[in-house]
Amino acid sequence: MQIRVLLVIFGLSFWLATSLQGQITLGQWRTHLPYKYCNLTEATDNQVFCSTTGGLFYYNLEDNSVVKISKIDGLSDNGVAAMRWSGDLETLIMAYQNSNIDLIRDNVIVNLPDIMKKQIPGDKYIYDIYYLGQDAYLSTGFGIVLLNLEKDEISETYYIGDNGEALKVNQVTSDGTYLYAATDKGIRKGLISDPFLVDFNAWETITDIPNAGGAFSTIAFFNDVIYTSYADPAGEQDLIYYNNGSGWSIYSYFTGKICHELLDQGDYLSLVDNKGVHLINEGGLVIKELLSAKPLSASLDDYGSLWLADYGDGLITNQEGNTWSIIPNGPNTTSVYDMEASGNVLHSVQGGVSGSWANLYMKAFLETFSSEQWNSQLFPEARDLVSLAIDPADPHHVFAGSWGYGLLEYKGEEVIRYTEANSTLQTIIQGGNFVRIGGVALDPVGNLWMTNTGVSEPISVRKADGTWKSYKVDNLITGYTALGSILVTRSGDIWAIVPKSNGLFAMNINYTIDDTSDDEYKKVSVVDKYGKVITNDVRAFAEDRSGNLWLGTNQGVYVIYSPYRLFTEGSVYAQEILIPRNDGSGLADPLLGTQVVTAIEVDGANRKWLGTASGGVYLVSEDGLEEIEQFNATNSPLLSNSIADICVDGVSGEVFFGTDKGIISYRGDALEGSTQYDQVVVYPNPVRETYDGPVAIKGLVENTTVKITDMSGNLVYETESLGGQALWDGTNFRGERVATGVYMIYLSSADGAIAHVTKVLFIH
């Protein structure tokens, strides 16, 4: 059992879905999750919590604020599966999708990871929570778990299936004498006072209800009446039955098709169907409704207002007689496939391909994070956007490659689609229109290069003047069913990944796009210095600031140093980064071992951010020999250890991690370098006596030497910038906080060609 404090008072606050959040500070995290697809809501005494497909937020009934909360604020996990509030116990229980559990009382979190950690075959999901006295009954995929809230521990587990087998329990209720469990195989009941309730024989199946052996999705006891819903296996027409002691009858006021939820709300029973939430009084009559398009869950606050979680329209309420919706700002989906940033603007696409590179037919959303706000742009004629390139002169001018629907060019709200009809791109369907673009990349002069899978001319370029050219490339990659990411190196060569364990492709056009007579094309295997194939399963690649090509593969990280030698010397080979053990053995281990590396991003200091399929994220030094950071879902707020992409915003230093559970970002300490010292900023300045964080010196030329002296010229600190930023902790060489006064900051480029002087004031 772990105890921590919920830090929601430091959370990111929003007012009626309008973000007031500013940029995060160095070393801080923030989530970027969708909040419109709500699936669960629960009202406490002064807050209304709402769980969505990606995140969690609450509405404060006292000050009308909306606050997003996550692991960053002290929660143990992300992705809420079930949550229930007990006013008597003043306890909110949150069960997560991985079966981890948090108990929250007075902003203190008690974590109970027992079910999550226990080796239970099959379904461990927690579907609902029911309070009875000092206990909570958890409905799970294997049975019922009894949680003792006096001791905050699990006291019993009831396997109530036939012969003690695991049985999915959807919801539990009680009439004070019996426990009733709505399961996938009928309704079962057990006597609460039975000391042997853990024995499956103590449970009996209710046989006098219609469809007795079928699946019952919900059950509730309200005003001496048991209500339950039978789930139509065809998913077309559920039935609600009730029993007031005179046998089971059909509840005729249920006019919906699907029953999502039945809950005792105190004075009323709430029924959520496919139309909305309906409040039922003690006479069994519907006395109030709140309707929506895709309702899933509802709650009633202490002031009598209804709250409805809608899958698409957010958290809907009829508070104060007005119907309105709360949707905190965020992207449209948790799905992430590719991200790119430029000019303090991030773009993301949610498309993707299957493991065999077949289409998933995901909607073509371009997600944009700019000025601290997310905006989504849907292009309805396309699907499966898989790659991005941003015009460095205009961060809102974006190119997106789709897997089957050609190339999309975004100019603000204007979208142009390129297919075989208006470009050199080719379709894989004769006489049809199915253009698969695996990767797109801009070269320094504005030419857009792309891979075009399954066609006779698999490399195309949209030139800076808007005209097009395509290449047969000696038919080296014509027959492959997948062509992936593409990049243009500093030497002008074009490299592309050939997925499905087919290595790499490279071409040298000798700086002449239209003259193909001097072109060279190479199909490249990832080999060691002896020519032996290491692996051809390349998942990601990136060129660093020294011109070296870093490869993420199914067997770790490899580097091709000076890849231009492929065309000057005829061949290249890949090398491991070997980390010395420094234990006297003289041995070394390869960087990341044999982890599957799915993403590589180079920051402004030429350090490498490495994303893996199951091990989280690593930040390593320029040469890869030093591990600077290692983030995973256990030791950090990282949403998941499965990383799809990483993107560094060179302007702010914020690093965005695209995971299988959405986007989260971390404020790093490296920025892109400037060409001059014409926009140097020292922050904070002055440094007040209450400030104990680092002093940031921004707007620097890459690899700037920074020397800080007092007014007498005594050197107190010296460092080298991380790209375009240097940090000073405000101490001298003895580790002592510097005294009150003005300190001079002398800056010089690595070659000494340019220099600059600025200053900072310290106040004690």
Are 206 and 219 a contacting pair, CB within 8 Å? Answer: no
Q: Residue 464's Cα: distance from chain center in Å?
A: 34
Are 240 and 251 a contacting pair, CB within 8 Å? Answer: yes
436, β-bridge pairs: 403
Are 581 and 591 a contacting pair, CB within 8 Å? Answer: no
Q: Is the pLDDT score of 15 beyond 50? A: no
Of the residues 272, 305, 330, which one is the last residue of a structural domain? Answer: 330
Residue 473 CB partners (closer than 8 Å, separation 6+): 457, 458, 459, 505, 507, 521
User: 260: part of which helix (H) or strand (E)?
Assistant: strand 259-264
pLDDT tens-digit series, residues 152-172: 999 999 999 999 999 999 999
From the list 620, 643, 452, 651, the residue with the least C-alpha distance to 550 is 620
pLDDT tens-digit series, residues 665-690: 999 999 999 999 999 999 999 999 98
pLDDT tens-digit series, residues 462-498: 999 999 999 999 999 999 999 999 999 999 999 999 9
Dist. CA 52–CA 40, nearest whole Å: 7
Dist. CA 338–CA 608, nearest whole Å: 17
Residue 523 falls inside a structural domain = no
* Three-class secondary structure of residue 319 per DSSP: helix
Total number of domains constituting the chain: 2
pLDDT tens-digit series, residues 267-303: 999 999 999 999 999 999 999 999 999 999 999 999 9
505, β-bridge pairs: 496, 523
pLDDT tens-digit series, residues 98-154: 999 999 998 899 999 999 999 998 899 999 999 999 999 999 999 999 999 999 999
pLDDT given at position 21:
40
Dist. CA 316–CA 689, nearest whole Å: 46
Q: Is the pLDDT score of 36 beyond 80? A: yes
Confidence class for position 22, pLDDT limits 50, 70, 90: low
The Cα angle at residue 672 between residues 671 and 674, in degrees rounded to 5: 120
Of the residues 330, 348, 382, which one is the last residue of a structural domain? Answer: 330
Query: Span 187-194, mean pLDDT?
Result: 96
Q: Is the pLDDT score of 48 beyond 70? A: yes
Residue 264 falls inside a structural domain = no
Dist. CA 657–CA 668, nearest whole Å: 12
Residue 100 falls inside a structural domain = yes
Confidence class for position 603, pLDDT limits 50, 70, 90: very high
pLDDT given at position 12:
30
Structural domain range at position 746: 681-762
Residue 136 falls inside a structural domain = no
Query: Span 208-230, mean pLDDT?
Result: 97
* Three-class secondary structure of residue 541 per DSSP: strand
Rg of the chain over Cα atoms, rounded to whole angstroms, equals 30
pLDDT given at position 7:
60
Q: Domain of 716: which CATH number?
A: 2.60.40.3080
Are 612 and 640 a contacting pair, CB within 8 Å? Answer: no
Alpha helices in 9-113 (DSSP H): none
**Average pLDDT, rounded, for the chain:** 94
Residue 205 CB partners (closer than 8 Å, separation 6+): 185, 186, 187, 188, 212, 213
Dist. CA 641–CA 375, nearest whole Å: 26
pLDDT given at position 4:
67
Q: Is the pLDDT score of 17 beyond 60? A: no
At 233, list the tokens: 């296996």
Dist. CA 313–CA 38, nearest whole Å: 8
Share above pLDDT 90 across residues of the chain, in percent, rounded to a whole number: 92
Helix, strand, coil % over all residues of the chain, rounded to 5: 5, 50, 50
Residue 314 falls inside a structural domain = yes
Q: Domain of 38: which CATH number?
A: 2.40.10.480
Look up the pTM and report it: 0.92
From the list 15, 14, 12, the residue with the least C-alpha distance to 23 is 12
Query: Span 339-355, mean pLDDT?
Result: 94
Cβ atoms within 10 Å, residue 689: 11
Q: Burial of 224 by CB count in 10 Å (0-12 exposed, 13-18 middle, 19+ buried)?
A: exposed
Of the residues 274, 304, 330, which one is the last residue of a structural domain? Answer: 330
Residue 724 CB partners (closer than 8 Å, separation 6+): 604, 650, 670, 671, 672, 673, 674, 698, 699, 700, 701, 702
From the list 657, 646, 686, 668, the residue with the least C-alpha distance to 724 is 668
Tell me the C-alpha to C-alpha distance, in Å, between residue 69 and each of 53, 106, 708, 711: 14, 15, 40, 46
Q: Residue 142's Cα: distance from chain center in Å?
A: 29
Q: Is the pLDDT score of 520 beyond 90? A: yes
pLDDT given at position 582:
85
Dist. CA 717–CA 734, nearest whole Å: 10
Residue 686 falls inside a structural domain = yes
Residue 363 falls inside a structural domain = no
Assign 3-class secondary structure to 467-535: CEEEECHHHCCCCCCCCCCEEECCCCCEEEECCCCCCEEEEECCCCCCCCCCCEEEEECCECCCCCECC
Confidence class for position 664, pLDDT limits 50, 70, 90: very high
Torsion of CA 635, 641, 644, 648, to 10 degrees: 10
Are 427 and 452 a contacting pair, CB within 8 Å? Answer: no
Dist. CA 486–CA 517, nearest whole Å: 22
pLDDT given at position 19:
32
Residue 305 falls inside a structural domain = yes
Residue 211 CB partners (closer than 8 Å, separation 6+): 230, 239
249, β-bridge pairs: 242
pLDDT tens-digit series, residues 172-184: 999 999 999 999 9
Q: Is the pLDDT score of 411 beyond 80? A: yes
User: 115: part of which helix (H) or strand (E)?
Assistant: helix 114-117
Edge-to-edge strands, sheet with 741-748: 715-720, 705-710, 741-748, 755-762
Q: Residue 73's Cα: distance from chain center in Å?
A: 16
Dist. CA 284–CA 8, nearest whole Å: 40
Confidence class for position 244, pLDDT limits 50, 70, 90: very high
pLDDT tens-digit series, residues 463-472: 999 999 999 9
Query: Span 421-448, mean pLDDT?
Result: 95
Q: Is the pLDDT score of 54 beyond 90? A: no
Type of residue at 321: G
